[in-house]
Amino acid sequence: MKKLINQVDDIVNEMLDGMTAAYPQYVRRLEGFDVLVRSEGSQGKVVLISGGGSGHEPAHGGFVGKGMLDAAVAGAVFTSPTPDQIYEAIKAADGGKGVLLVIKNYTGDVMNFEMAADLARDEGIEVEQVITADDVAVENSTWTTGRRGIAGTIFVHKLAGACAEAGGSLAQVKSVAEKVIANVRSMGMAVDACTVPAAGKPSFDLAEDEIEIGIGIHGEPGVNREKISSVNDIADKLLDKIFAEGIYNSGDEVAVMVNGMGGTPLMELFVANKHIKEVLNGKGIKVYKTLVGNYMTSLDMEGFSITLLKLDEELKKYLDAPADTPAFVQQ
């Protein structure tokens, strides 16, 4: 294993300190906790908090800032943050208008965020939650009951965050988040696995001519292993599974995210996006906005995921709203 690290056990701590050193205008770290909050605070608005295991950067700390998250909680690599860390994030970020927790559907995340929410409610803080489950690859997995939450979670951060920034009530912000969740679907693939520093070896083995279709974001192998083919063919396989959901039809407008898994060159992501747009155009589906880059990664995994979000006028308004975070800036 070759990694640019010091000590394995210090990675998350040093990463968070490095982020605050790079972006003090956006984030500060809660002393003694693996939590990043907005530098300027979040008084007078509904607060959005998300998080999960580290290794998905720029998620989640990279999306703390105006128009998106108010706090992010970092667990160990691919490990849910503990309830006490989440609880401290809720208390620190609460601006008096309520808190919405955005939770990816992994058993540990759901359990620990719900425990923290209960603790906060006991303190008189109004807390609601939504659970993202956009991955169409599997119905259940080793880590979940139901579908996994993957890159589509970023659209929840963006649109619900915009609603909160605009002064929406907790009920309104939750409603926007739920609308996004109902209309977003994703699927990913890998050319090569990631290596968790503590494990020291790839999470699964692929031959030089093999790929995994339907991978998760925690180094999980896919649902199908096959010979590598052109990126157009691979994108078609991912899109076919997404289209099988039956929610994207001719005349619709969508936002597209082509998300790198951490080790994929932007060149390859843009090649994939070219074909994705052509396929959508051929189906009479209008691409309203496209995001290409690393948003929800899996350490150094090579591969990509495709996310489609079906839009209406309300969702387009919040998608277009300004945002200013370390990893996402929109004027």
In tens, the pLDDT along 166-197 reads 999 999 999 999 999 999 999 999 999 999 99
Lowest mean pLDDT among 137-146, 158-167, 294-303, 318-327: 137-146
pLDDT band, residue 142 (cuts 50/70/90) = low
Mean pLDDT of 281-297: 98
Give the pair of three-digit tokens for residue 226: 């096959």
Beta bridge partners of 260: 304
Q: Decide if pLDDT at 140 tops 90.
A: no
Q: Is 196 exposed, middle or buried (0-12, 13-18, 19+ CB in 10 A)?
A: buried
Tell me the catalytic residues.
56, 218
Percent of the chain predicted with pLDDT > 90: 95
- Sign for the CA dihedral angle at 104, 108, 110, 114 comes to negative
Cβ atoms of 65 and 47 within 8 Å: the answer is: no
What size, in residues, is the chain? 331
Q: Decide if pLDDT at 143 tops 70.
A: no
Mean pLDDT of 256-261: 98
**Structural domains in the chain?**
11-132 (3.40.50.10440), 183-322 (3.30.1180.20)
CA-CA distance, 128 to 148, in Å (whole number)?
Answer: 20
Give the pair of three-digit tokens for residue 118: 């209960």
Give the pair of three-digit tokens for residue 158: 């963006």
**pLDDT recorded at residue 141:** 64
What does each C-alpha distance from 13 to 54, 92, 113, 121 come to in angstroms? Answer: 10, 19, 21, 28
Question: Tens digits of per-residue pLDDT, 19-61?
Answer: 999 999 999 999 999 999 999 999 999 999 999 999 999 999 9
